[in-house]
Amino acid sequence: MSKASRSKNASRVQDRLIDELIGISRGVIADGMVDESEAIFLGQWIENHREIADKWPVNVLYARLTEMLKDGVLSLDEQQELMETLRDLTGESQQFQETNRPTTLPVDKPAPAIEFTDKTFCLTGRFVFGSMLDCEETIAELGGHLVQTPGKETDYLVIGELCSPDWIHTTFGRSIEKAVELKTQGVPLRILTEEHWVNSLADA
C-alpha cells in the first residue's frame, strides 16, 4: 500500500472515530445532565483512541476533561460547563444549532502560520476552546496582545467556531466586515478560524 493510500485510510478511520465520539456525547447529554462517571468515561474513551486526541474538536474536549478531572471531582459548575461544551460540539446547542462552518466565512486560504509574540489579535464570536477570557489569557501567555475591534495594527482576527448563522447582522459580524474592509485597503490582517488557531497553539 502506498504512503498516500495509508494516509487516506488513516484519515477515514479518524473521521469515523470522531463521528463515534460525537454519537457517544449525544447519548451522554440526552438526559440533560453529565455526571462524574460519564466525564471519566469520555476521557478514558479518548485516551483509548489516542490517534484522534490531538484532532479538532477532540483536542479541545480532551483538554477540558483533563482540567476538570485533575482533582478527582466534577463540581456542579464543571458539570454545567461540560454539558454546554458537549451541546456545542454535537450541534445540540439551541442557540447555535446551525453553525456557520469556516468555509462560509471570509477566512484566509491557505491558513497562514501564526506567530504570537508581539502580535495583535482580535477575537470575535463564541469559542469552543472556552470563554473569551480563556482565549485572551492563552494569547497573552504566549506573548500576544489583544484588541476589542480590528484596526490597522491588528495582525489576526480569530473567528469562534460557534459563529451564528446570521453572523452578518451581529456584533461579531461587524468585526468580520471591518476586517475584510481593512484587508481590501491593503492592511496585512489575517482572518483565521478557531480550529486553525487552536491547532497552532501546540506549536507555539
Which pLDDT does position 99 carry in this prediction?
Answer: 40
Which domains, and CATH codes, for the chain?
Answer: 3-90 (no CATH), 102-201 (3.40.50.10190)
- Across the chain, where does the E strand assignment appear? 120-124, 145-147, 156-159, 190-193
Instruction: Tell me which DSSP letter residue 120 carries.
Output: E
pLDDT of residue 147: 96
Name the nearest CA neighbour of 162 among 99, 120, 107, 116. Answer: 99
C-alpha cell belonging to residue 170: 451581529
Q: How buried is residue 106: exposed, middle or buried, by Cβ count under 10 Å (0-12/13-18/19+)?
A: middle
Residue 18 backbone phi and psi in degrees, to 5: -65, -40
Q: What is the pLDDT of residues 146-165, one digit of tens each?
A: 999 999 999 999 998 876 55
Helix (H, G, I), strand (E, B) or coil at 76: helix
Residue 168, Ramachandran bin (φ over 0: left; ψ between -120 and 50: alpha; else beta) = alpha
Q: Which residues contact 163 (CB under 8 A, 6 or more apart)?
A: 99, 100, 105, 125, 126, 172
- Each residue's pLDDT tens digit in the chain (204 positions)? 565 556 667 778 888 888 899 889 989 999 999 999 999 999 999 999 998 888 878 888 899 999 999 998 899 999 999 998 888 777 665 444 344 443 356 888 899 999 999 999 999 988 888 889 999 999 999 999 999 999 999 999 999 887 655 454 455 577 888 898 899 899 999 999 998 999 999 877
What's the whole-model pTM score? 0.60
pLDDT digits (tens, 9 = 90+) for 27-64: 999 999 999 999 999 999 999 999 888 887 888 889 99
**Average pLDDT value over all residues in the chain:** 84
